[in-house]
Amino acid sequence: MTVCTTEAIAFTRCKRRKVVADFGGGEITSDAGVLLLSEADKRLRLTQRIAPQFDDPRCKGKCDHSLQDMLRQRIYALALGYEDLNDHQTLRKDTALQTHFRQFQVVFPYHI
């Protein structure tokens, strides 16, 4: 028998806003897994440790997004099942992804 939980799950705050999964409706997303993935990434520092392993020949002063932020975008999208870069335009409007990327002062860019 399936046991459903109605307890709220709290995530790291987004600026001064509480981020909670409460299963009571409101803003609904099928990509809330990005919040869990983000928490794991922060604790393991996975993208923080991987980013320096890539060569980034871009002129830093002309870049809007860091290599680490672009890696996060790509890795998180893949983990959520979005394998095509053209999905990223749609993902920009997703509540969970907007919440996550505001924590890092980045809006999900149109493409890498």
Half-sphere exposure of 91 (CA within 13 A, CB side): 25
Give residue 54's domain range: 29-103
In a domain, 9, yes or no: no
Q: What does the pLDDT look like over 12-64, one tens digit per residue?
A: 776 777 777 776 766 666 777 887 888 899 899 999 999 999 999 999 888 88
How many distinct structural domains can be found in the chain? 1
Q: Quick one: pLDDT at residue 70?
A: 86
Q: Mean of the pLDDT values across residues 105-112?
A: 42
For residue 89, what pLDDT band results from cuts at 50, 70 and 90?
Answer: confident
For residue 100, what pLDDT band results from cuts at 50, 70 and 90?
Answer: low
Half-sphere exposure of 83 (CA within 13 A, CB side): 0
Q: Quick one: pLDDT at residue 87?
A: 79
In a domain, 87, yes or no: yes
CB 34, CB 51: distance < 8 Å: no
DSSP code for 105: T
In a domain, 73, yes or no: yes
In a domain, 14, yes or no: no
Stronger pLDDT, 46 or 102, i.e. the higher one: 46
Q: Quick one: pLDDT at residue 27?
A: 65
pTM for the whole structure: 0.65
Q: Mean of the pLDDT values across residues 95-101?
A: 70
In a domain, 110, yes or no: no
